[in-house]
Amino acid sequence: MTPLNRQQIAWRVGQDFENGMLVNLGLGMPVNCSDYIREGREVVIQSENGVIGAGPLASANAADSDLVDAGSRKITIAPGGTVIDSAWSFAMIRGGHIDVTVLGAFEVAANGDLANWDNRIPDKGPLVGGAMDLAAAAKEVWVMMDHTTRKGAPRLLRTCTLPLTAPSCVTRIYTDLAVIFRDAAGFLVKEIIAGLSREELQARTGAPLRFAGDCGVLAAPEIAEKD
């Protein structure tokens, strides 16, 4: 089996953006998803600092420190885009206008609880940003993350051990091993990588998995990992 790298997970998430969706991408891995929107689809990328219609990263000579995304990356504005102020941006977020937010996570529980803001590093300051607003109010919360920790411990759990970002909010999880929907009954596996058995996936998961009747193979094109 070959787990997906992070760019491939971003590619897989990007395939599921529908035409006309308003999508917010979180810091870290999720911002890469905008590179993989399907040909012929237009998706409006919202950045919490108020950019509506965030475009690709700016080239070196076009980079402008007044035009950044939520990750402080210098970006461009896509055709049709604009910028609003933060209070309005979060009114958009809390008001339920975001179709999908894609967030990274430390842990997701079978009831949809999300833990992605506080990994309890002693004495380090907090870093919540817009995560709680997004998790609480986007129509759908998609998580992308490695299926297990670097030490191999599951991140998909019965109950989160880390402080919650929002209760019962996650609707999908895209990992390096599987695509999993989360519903009232818990985790439902929709796709699994080739060469990994259902039992092996379950062994890497801290809560019961169900497998969809049409459970397919999770595959992505070759894409080099970026730093």
Q: Which residues are catalytic?
A: 48
Burial of 190 (0-12, 13-18, 19+ CB in 10 A): middle
Closest listed residue to residue 16, CA positions, set 38, 32, 49: 38
Closer of 7 and 165 to another protein (Cβ): 165
Which residue of 166, 180, 201, 209 would you call a contact of another protein, by CB under 8 A? 166
Work out which of 131, 145, 170, 179 binds another protein, going by CB under 8 A: 131
Residue 1 Cβ vs another protein, minimum distance, rounded to whole Å: 33
Cβ contact 48:24 at 8 Å: yes
* Residue selected from 129, 154, 210, 223 as contacting another protein according to rule CB under 8 A: 129
Report the amino acid identity of residue 72: S
55 binds another protein (CB under 8 A): no
Is 177 a binding residue for another protein by CB under 8 A? The answer is: no
Cβ-based neighbour number of residue 124 at 10 Å: 9
x/- map, 64-83, another protein, by CB under 8 A: xxxxxxxxx-x--x-----x
Applying CB under 8 A, among 86, 149, 159, 197 the residue interacting with another protein is 86
Cβ-based neighbour number of residue 213 at 10 Å? 5
CA distance 142 to 170: 6
Report the DSSP pairing between strands 100-103 and 22-25. parallel
Least Cα distance to 46 among 36, 33, 58 occurs for 33
Is residue 87 at the binding interface for another protein, with CB under 8 A as the rule? yes
Q: CA-CA distance, 28 to 66, in Å (whole number)?
A: 20
**At closest approach, how far in Å is the CB of 123 from another protein?**
5
Near another protein in 89-128, by CB under 8 A: 89-91, 93-94, 118, 121, 123-128
Q: Is 159 in the site for another protein (CB under 8 A)?
A: no
Residue ranges in contact with another protein by CB under 8 A: 48-51, 64-72, 74, 77, 83-87, 89-91, 93-94, 118, 121, 123-133, 136-137, 163-167
